Amino acid sequence: MAVIKPFAALRPKPELAPRICELPYDVMSSEEARQIAAGNPLSFLHISKPEIDLPPATDPCAPEVYVQGRKNFRRLIAQGALRQDTQPCFYLYRQVMGAHSQAGLVAAASCADYREGRIKKHELTRPDKEDDRLRHIEALESQTGPVFLVYRATPGLDALVARQTTAAPDVDFMAPDGVRHTAWVIAEAAAIQFIEAEFARMPGLYIADGHHRCAAAARVCQARNGAGGSARFLSVLFPHNQMQILPYNRVLKDLNGLSPAQLREKLASVFTFQHPGVATPARKHTLGFYLEGEWHGLHFLPPYTAVADPIERLDVTLLQKQVLAPIFDIHDPRTSERINFVGGIRGTAELEKLVNRGEYACAFSLFPTSIEDLMTIADAGGIMPPKSTWFEPKLRDAMFCHMI
């Protein structure tokens, strides 16, 4: 049984939403945030990454950073740029990115459901990142970055969303990156009751993105004994069949002392080769490999893919265990400085650029992990390897804030 509730969201004044709403804090550096927010005092980056208003050498986790964030947040509220609704509501949030469209329900999810495993995770979290988001929530008395949740699609909710999105939207704008963001308010008591009942029949929900935000919210709830709004956290819930997962590709600093010919020989014990290959793999268990200005197609040999464990047959797992560890001597990709990760939104041209400039020696492009694999692993209580999924489009901060 999944418990979700309506809440009185703090939202941008509709005509100011394009200037206020921003990409999440964790998809850009402080310097990139400074450049994006330059000349725009309404940019939510002044709140989600408030170090941009302090000297460049400032530690992003220094106490004065959170103080600055609170100051900036209160300024936007005092100016009326952000306004809180007068009654608890659900909301719909649709994003359109090229040919892809996804519509999610904005709601307050249950910290108890997270602690007790009904909201299922698939990644490990880092204490330092949890601490940062905890301090941010406490300083603002608000959750401003939503957790991206997934539920197994149901006909009843599909029909409700289809009906609600025929009405005139409350917010509708095109972001600079070409993604369209549209929002509707659901205030009718009958619709609210229907939504709550639909989710109450679900055995669980899945975290797609936002593990650190979710863990931090649960810690705030525990510290406050659930007082105020702290027992719940800001979330946007999408049906599983609308998800767009892009690959998380790998670039390697060196060939671990091997010549290109020696490396190809070692890879031939794991893969069948296709040369020339394509940059973008067309199916599971197929990789693209970029070396010396050329793409090769790599197909895992059958013995490596004929495993029952859903984690062990993920391409990211196979690549790590059969290639990165034994051939490149990279045993912990979380800590190794010889590997980096490139989100699929940047495309394979980014991999070519990094290798061609000499910053990296070679690159692997992957076929995306499926949402079905993610849910299967989460249902079994498993943890996926780091950097297994890249969800697009990203939810914009400040579209909705949950005051605690």
Q: Which two tokens stand for residue 301?
A: 């040999």
Residue 62 has a pLDDT of 96
| Overall average pLDDT of the 380-402 stretch | 93
Evaluate whether residue 385 is within a structural domain. no
Same domain assignment for residues 160 and 255? no
Evaluate whether residue 32 is within a structural domain. yes
* Contact between residue 232 and residue 115 where contact means Cβ atoms under 8 Å apart: no
Instruction: Give the tens place of pLDDT for each residue, 248-293.
Output: 999 999 999 999 999 999 999 999 999 888 999 999 999 999 999 9
Contacts of 198 (CB under 8 A, 6+ apart): 154, 156, 157
Instruction: Give the tens place of pLDDT for each residue, 90-100.
Output: 999 999 999 99
Q: Which of 11-15, 344-348, 378-382 has the highest mean pLDDT?
A: 11-15
Domain that holds residue 224: 4-245+392-403
Same domain assignment for residues 255 and 237? no
Reduce the DSSP state of residue 61 to 3 states and report it. Answer: coil
Same domain assignment for residues 23 and 84? yes
Same domain assignment for residues 206 and 67? yes
Evaluate whether residue 130 is within a structural domain. yes
Inform me whether the pLDDT recorded for 111 exceeds 90. yes
pLDDT confidence of 125, banded at 50, 70, 90? confident
Same domain assignment for residues 197 and 257? no
Same domain assignment for residues 234 and 301? no
State the Cα angle at 41 between 209 and 8, rounded to 5°. Answer: 50
User: Is-above-0.85 flag for pTM?
Assistant: yes
User: Shortest CA distance to 88 belongs to which of 180, 10, 169?
Assistant: 10
Residue 121 has a pLDDT of 92
Inform me whether the pLDDT recorded for 335 exceeds 90. no
